[in-house]
Amino acid sequence: MFTGIIEAIGHIESIQMGADDARIRVRAGKMSMSDVKLGDSIATNGVCLTVVEMDAHHFTADVSNETLRLTNFGIYKAGQKVNLEKALMPTSRLGGHIVSGHVDGVAKVSAINKLSRAIDYWLELPKELVRYVAYKGSITVDGTSLTINAVEENRVKLTLVPHSLEETMISDYQVGTSVHIEVDVLARYLERLLLSTQKDENNPSGLTLESLTKAGFA
């Protein structure tokens, strides 16, 4: 599990493509590798990867065929910048929101509007993910926990302050940039719960879509 608070901007030094998967070597930038062990998880542009080799400044991870198919790792080249975050520890502050590192889909930057110091980014989401986003809800973009400031059909607006722009690779985004999206896991669990209770005629908890709506959860 992760928080979506980026620790460093790294970059991919090499990609070795195999028949069905790939192995990548990542330079960790300012992220300390001193407490990383083989088998640990590191979110790399929001994708949870397992460390199979490491040294003081790098880690190597295998990327499965499924990940290559569903994310941008299939088109990344050596030199690609990546947001990095080590897995959450029980003693860590939960500064963002709960992030699993399991990317739900790929979105595209559709507009960028510069404000006085901050920047608004509009993302066009896949239609199947729109139902999981909400005004002032959380979303993960290339591993970064962000707040949704507007929802218009299948687009969401995200406002980045200078600190976030400095500490992540988002400042490199341009119109058309493809990004990894992970929706709030609570939205997925709520959907599953609603589907289960709607199909279950014997619902001892009394939990229904109507009751959740009245309580402000749906």
Give the model's pLDDT for residue 133.
94
The one-letter amino acid at 54: M
What average pLDDT does range 48-61 have in this prediction?
97
Contact by Cβ (8 Å): 177, 108: yes
Who has greater pLDDT, 202 or 52?
A: 52
- The domains located in the chain, with CATH, are 8-86 (2.40.30.20), 105-186 (2.40.30.20)
The pLDDT value given to residue 187:
81
Tokens representing residue 41 in the block? 């998880």
- Reading the block at residue 147, the tokens are 């707040």
Banded model confidence at residue 212, pLDDT cuts 50, 70, 90: low
Q: How far apart are CA 69 and CA 216, in angstroms?
A: 37
Q: CA 192, CA 196: separation in Å to the nearest integer?
A: 6
pLDDT band of residue 89 (cuts 50, 70, 90) is: confident
Cα atoms in the Cβ-side hemisphere of radius 13 Å centred on 116: 0
Instruction: Supply the mean pLDDT for the chain.
Output: 90
This prediction has a pTM of 0.85
Contacts of 34 (CB under 8 A, 6+ apart): 56
Mean of pLDDT values over 24-37: 97
* Residue 200 pLDDT grade (very low, low, confident, very high; cuts 50, 70, 90): low
Q: What gap in Å lies between CA 186 and CA 216, rounded to an integer?
A: 14
Distance between CA 81 and CA 78 in Å, rounded?
Answer: 9
- Which tens digit of pLDDT belongs to each residue from 127-150? 999 999 999 999 999 999 999 999
Neighbours of 29 (CB within 10 A): 15
| Residue 201, amino acid | E
Rounded CA separation 23/169 (Å): 22
Percent pLDDT > 70 in the chain is 88
* Sequence-distant (≥ 6) Cβ neighbours of residue 69 within 8 angstroms: none
> Is the pLDDT reported for residue 30 higher than 60?
yes
For 73, list phi and psi in degrees, rounded to 5: -65, -25
pLDDT number for residue 208? 61
Q: Tens digit of pLDDT for each residue in 179-197?
A: 999 998 888 877 777 776 6
63 with 23: CB under 8 angstroms? yes
Q: What pLDDT shows up at residue 199?
A: 54
CA–CA distance, 42 with 180 (Å, rounded to integer): 15
Enumerate the H helices of 25-84 as residue ranges.
65-70
